[in-house]
Structure 1
Amino acid sequence: MTWCKSAWQKAQPIYDQIVIMPFIKGMIDGTLDQSKFNFYIAQDARYLENFGRALALIAARAHRKDHVLDFIRFAEGAIVVESALHAGYLSGQDGAKKIEVSPACHHYNSYLISTAAIAPVEIAMAAVLPCFWVYKEVGDYIFEHQNKNGNPYQAWINTYSGTDFGIVVNKAILICDEIAATCTPRQRDAMTEAFLTGCQLEWMFWDSAWRLEKWPVMA
């Protein structure tokens, strides 16, 4: 069994909880409150800036030249292509643009940047994989179960269930399997731990949007 298949098996309980979240259910039937989606998009725009930086850091540290180029392209996609999707949703939403970074988003950003910068590169690659893989699986799930009659979130659904994104995800999975094949069992275990942490942070990210999460008010 490849490392990715093994890691996904371990992450399956997390994914199963993600697809039954009220936020995801609201996207499926198109009834998600616009304020919650605006909050999510505002956070995701902040997240993608740091995700792109994390991918660029991994590119700089990758051992294989083809992986360097792959992660440079991943970073470009995160910053340019997906940012265009966010810009479309945020256009005219001045309130969404002013939403401060949430604790969950801040934590996810810090985890990715610190891992990409100082952890062994194979662990860094595993840590960013959930943002590719979990989004693709969730995007496909929503697409298969969605209400297609004027769903206001159709552009988001089409992006993450689309063929182009699927090609990127498959490449990220392949790279992690190639790297894992050269690692010791202990290194692969560390990769799995990083992958599972990323999956848990994906759950936290959507949960924070559903709750419109704020920082604690200091007395």
Structure 2
Amino acid sequence: MTFTDRLWKRIEPIYEATLAHPFIRELTDGTLPRDTFLFYLKQDTLYLSDFTRALALAGARAADNAHMQSFLEFAVGAIAVERQLHEDFYAKYDTQLDVVKAPACFTYTHFLLSKALLGSYAGLIGAVLPCFWIYREVGMAVYRRAAPDNPYRAWIDTYAGEAFNRSVERAIEIADEVAGAASEAQRKEMEEAFVHSTLLEWMFWDSAYRREAWPLQEAMTSVPAS
């Protein structure tokens, strides 16, 4: 069993809870309300900006040139492919990015950036891996059950597609290589970061489903700026 096999075994209950979440169930059968999907999409746009920074920092910190190249390519891909997906949906639904980060998005992105700047390289790899791996597995599970006329088919096809799958396999390969060269303490940090990010993935879906707002948000927005 590889290091990443053991990681996945540890988070299987979280993954199963993710598949059972009403956001994923309704996304699969195409009944997810448009406003809920757009809430998710806009938060994801904000998330991807910081996730891309974390990937670029992983590339900058990598001692292995092949790892550096892969993470810089991942960063470019996150900008080019997924941002285009978002913009296509914005055009389709005649909307634009007009929100700030909800609490779950804020928490997740700050965790990633704190790992990128303050954690070990191994811990950073553990932190970014769930966004690859969980999305691939969720995308494939949804793809197997979704109807062809699902209104969110473009999203489904992106994360169940072969191009994304190749990126995920490479990220898993790097994680195993990094774990193999890491100290026991670094592998522990890597594992805990992986579990933490997996929990934050669930929180991100849940936040979108509830259209999460900051406490006292209405009161804060009613106060004039100084």
TM-score (norm 1): 0.96
Tell me, what secondary structure is at the counterpart of 1:147?
A: coil
- Following the alignment from structure 1 to structure 2, what is the Cα–Cα distance between the partners of residues 73 and 217? 40
Q: Give 2:20's aligned residue.
A: 20
Structure 1 residue 147, shift from structure 2 partner: 2.2
Amino acid at match of 1:46: L
Q: How does 1:1-16 map to 2 (within 5 A)?
A: 1-16=1-16
Give yes or no for the alignment of 1:211 onto 2:210. yes
SS in 2 for 1:215: coil
Contact 2:54–2:113 at 8 Å: present in 1 too?
yes
The answer to which of 74-83 and 180-189 deviates more is 180-189
Q: CA deviation at 1:162?
A: 0.4
Q: Is the 8 A contact 1:38 1:96 kept in 2?
A: no
Work out whether residues 129 and 171 of structure 2, in 8 Å CA contact, stay in contact via their aligned partners in 1. Answer: yes
Shift of the 5–193 alpha-carbon distance from structure 1 to 2, 3 Å rule, reads same
CA contact (8 A) 1:30 1:152 kept: yes
> Which whole-Å CA distance do the structure 2 matches of 1:36 and 1:99 have between them?
13
Matched residue, 2:224: none
Which 10-residue stretch deviates more, 182-191 or 127-136? 182-191
SS at match of 2:28: helix
Write out the 4+ residue segments of structure 1 that deviate beyond 3 Å after TM superposition. Answer: 92-96
Task: Give the drift of 1:184.
Answer: 2.4
Q: Answer yes or no: is the 8 Å Cα contact 2:120–2:186 preserved in 1.
A: no
> Measured at CA, do residues 94 and 147 of structure 1 come closer, stay the same or move farther in structure 2, by a change above 3 Å?
closer
Structure 1 residue 101, shift from structure 2 partner: 1.5
Where does structure 1 lack aligned partners over 5 or more consecutive residues? none
Match of 1:114 in 2: 114
Task: Kindly indicate whether the alpha-carbon contact (under 8 Å) linking 1:122 and 1:179 is maintained by their aligned counterparts in 2.
Answer: yes
What does the per-residue CA deviation read over 1:100-138, in whole Å, with 9 as the maximum and x for residues that have no partner? 210100111111111111211011011000000000000
**Counterparts of 1:129 and 1:13, CA distance in 2:** 17
Matches within 5 A, 1:55-66: 55-66=55-66
Q: Give the equivalent residue in structure 2 for 1:164.
A: 163
1:120-177 alpha-carbon deviations (Å, 9 max, x no partner): 10110110000000000000000111122x1000000000000000000000000000
Distance 1:174 1:166 in 2: 12
Amino acid of the structure 2 residue aligned with 1:30: G
Q: Secondary structure at the match of 1:81?
A: helix
TM-score by length of 2: 0.93
User: Is the partner of 2:181 in helix, strand or coil?
Assistant: coil
Q: Which residue of structure 1 lines up, in the alignment, with residue 197 of structure 2?
A: 198
Aligned length: 218
Name the CA shift for 1:214/1:165 in 2 (closer, same or farther; >3 Å).
same
